[in-house]
Amino acid sequence: MKPGVRVCVPSAAVLDLFCRGCLSRSRSWPGRSFSSTSGQMSRWNSQDTSPPSPQENVRVLITGDANFHPSLTLNVIIFLLMSRKQYGRDNVILSDIKKPPPHVYANGPFVYADVLDYKHLRELIVNNRVTWLVHYSALLSAVGEANVALARKINITGLHNVLDLALENCLRLFVPSTIGAFGPSSPRDPAPDLCVQRPRTIYGVSKVHGELMGEYLHHKYGLDFRCLRYPGVISVNTPPGGGTTDYAVQIFHDALSTGHHECYLRPDTRLPMMHISDCHRATVEFMQAPECQLSLRTYNIAAMSFTPEEVAQEIRKHLPHLKVTYNPDTVRQTIADSWPVRFDDTNARRDWGWAPAFGLEELVSDMLRSIRDKRASQGLPVS
For residues 336-360, give the mean pLDDT: 96
Name the pTM for this structure.
0.81
pLDDT at 376: 87
Rounded Cα–Cα distance for residues 374 and 371 (Å): 5
Give residue-wise pLDDT tens across range 253-312.
999 999 999 999 999 999 999 999 899 899 989 999 999 999 999 999 999 999 999 999
326 an active-site residue? no
Residue 46 lies in a domain: no
Rounded Cα–Cα distance for residues 28 and 51 (Å): 24
Confidence of residue 79 (pLDDT cuts 50, 70, 90): low
Residue 48: Cβ-neighbour burial (10 angstroms; 0-12, 13-18, 19+): exposed
Percent pLDDT > 70 in the chain is 79
Is the pLDDT reported for residue 47 higher than 70? no
Cis peptide before 190 (omega within 30 of 0): yes
Residue 356: which of 269, 291, 285, 268 has the closest Cα? 285
3-state secondary structure 161-220: HHHHHHHHCCCEEECCEEHHHCCCCCCCCCECCCCCCCCCCHHHHHHHHHHHHHHHHHHH
CATH number at residue 136: 3.40.50.720
Task: Residue 118: give the domain boundaries.
Answer: 60-378
Residue 35 lies in a domain: no
Is the pLDDT reported for residue 366 higher than 60? yes
Pick the residue with more confidence: 27 or 302?
302
Q: Sign (positive/negative) of CA torsion 241, 246, 252, 258?
A: positive
Residue 348: Cβ-neighbour burial (10 angstroms; 0-12, 13-18, 19+): buried
Domain count, the chain: 1
Is the pLDDT reported for residue 18 higher than 70? no
Residue 237 lies in a domain: yes
Poorest-confidence range of 71-85, 121-135, 241-255, 308-322? 71-85
Is the pLDDT reported for residue 16 higher than 70? no
For residues 93-103, give the mean pLDDT: 82
Question: How much is the mean pLDDT over the chain?
Answer: 83
pLDDT at 145: 87
Q: Which residues contact 313 (CB under 8 A, 6 or more apart)?
A: none
Selected catalytic residue, list 136, 203, 247, 299:
203
Poorest-confidence range of 79-88, 177-186, 310-319? 79-88
For residues 342-363, give the mean pLDDT: 97
Q: Which residues contact 5 (CB under 8 A, 6 or more apart)?
A: none
pLDDT at 118: 96
Give residue-wise pLDDT tens across range 199-257.
988 999 999 999 999 999 999 999 999 999 999 889 887 666 667 888 999 999 999 99
pLDDT at 103: 73
Poorest-confidence range of 97-101, 149-153, 236-240, 264-268? 236-240
